[in-house]
Amino acid sequence: MNKIKLMMKRLISDGKYMSLIVSVAIACSFLLMFTVFSFAVQKKMEQEFLTSDSIEYIHTQIKPKIE
- DSSP state letters, 21-63: HHHHHHHHHHHHHHHHHHHHHHHHHHHHH--HHHHHHHHHH--
> What global pTM score does this model have?
0.49
pLDDT digits (tens, 9 = 90+) for 1-56: 788 888 777 777 777 778 888 899 999 999 999 999 999 888 887 777 666 566 66
Q: Taking the CA of residue 19 as centre, how many other CA atoms within 13 Å lie in the half-sphere pointing to its CB?
A: 1
pLDDT at 7: 78
How far is 32 from 15, CA to CA, in rounded Å?
26
> What are the domain boundaries of the chain?
2-61
